[in-house]
Amino acid sequence: MKFEVSSLLTKDRKIIEGPLLISPKRFEDPRGFFLEEWNEVEWIKLLKENGQNYHKFVQDNLSKSTQGVLRGLHFQINPYPQSKLVRCISGKIFDVAVDLRKHSPTFGQWISANLSSENLNQLWIPDGFAHGFLTLSDIASVQYKVTNYWSKECEKSLIWNDKEVDIDWPFEPNEKYKIKLSKKDEEASTFNEISKLNFF
């Protein structure tokens, strides 16, 4: 196997079914290293072994952010739900996924992972989750593969500091370290508002 796979735990030490932390295997020598970032045959096998269906990736996205930029928490609803495979190709981010599947025993709970150009880990986030990240390094570039095209009508956002979800973001806001949000993310919905709707 060219990847090591592990599940992630919530703050209450529960496993959330779906998201997976993926560590590609490195082949190192004095020159540096080589790894396969993604392989369709291995990917189909990986999903099957973890009880998930294969959905073809249709688009690759790239974002560049400065320290303190928080993007999210974004998700798309039917008929264009998106699953994502996220990795950080430069710098470091705190990556988060929130379970929005009403039938799930972990509905409203979240998992996180530090993704960086050093650890080269990837986070698989199936549809039914809100996704966002906080830039920890001076600059970070984040690349992600998605299983559906962007849809303005289907895109939704969960507010990053929702009190019910209660994400433990790894920072203390102060004069030197301020969160930078887009206008859309500043006006995102609360978990209470989202939970009243049947998105997934």
Q: Of the residues 74, 80, 103, 149, which is catalytic?
A: 74
Cross-strand partners of 122:
22, 87
**For range 141-154, the mean pLDDT:** 94
Please report which residue ranges of the chain form alpha helices under DSSP H: 40-49, 183-186, 191-195
CATH of domain 59-195: 2.60.120.10
The residues facing 90 across adjacent strands are: 141
User: Cα–Cα distance between 151 and 125 in angstroms, integer?
Assistant: 18
Determine the Cα–Cα distance for residues 110 and 16; give it in Å rounded to an integer.
8
Q: What is the pLDDT of residue 200?
A: 64
Answer yes or no: 55 catalytic.
Answer: no
Share of the chain above pLDDT 70, in %: 96
pLDDT at residue 33, rounded to an integer? 83
Question: In the chain, what are the domain boundaries?
Answer: 59-195
Gyration radius of the chain over CA positions: 17
Three-state DSSP class for residue 75: strand
Contacts of residue 173, Cβ cutoff 8 Å, sequence gap at least 6: 179
Higher-pLDDT residue of 170, 3: 170
CB 94 within 8 A of CB 114: yes
Out of 54, 80, 144, 177, which one is annotated catalytic?
Answer: 144
What is the value of pTM for the model shown? 0.90
Q: What is the pLDDT of residues 97-122, one digit of tens each?
A: 999 999 999 999 999 999 999 999 99
Tell how far CA 147 is from the center of its chain: 13
Going by pLDDT thresholds of 50, 70 and 90, the confidence category of residue 176 is low
Place of tokens 């004069």: 175
Residue 94 has pLDDT above 80, yes or no: yes
Tokens of residue 166, six digits: 């209660």
User: Averaged over 154-180, what is the pLDDT?
Assistant: 85
State the DSSP string of 154-176.
Answer: TEEEB-TT-TTT----S----SS
Please indicate whether residue 80 is annotated as part of the active site.
no
Instruction: Please report which confidence band the pLDDT of residue 1 belongs to, taking 50, 70 and 90 as the band edges.
Output: low
Q: How much is the average pLDDT of 85-96?
A: 96
pLDDT band with cut points at 50, 70 and 90 for residue 34: confident
pLDDT one-digit tens code per residue, 35-84: 888 888 888 888 998 899 898 999 999 999 999 999 989 999 999 999 99
Find the mean pLDDT for residues 7-27.
88
E strand map for the chain: 3-6, 20-24, 27-29, 32-34, 59-66, 70-76, 84-90, 92-99, 110-116, 122-125, 129-135, 139-146, 155-157
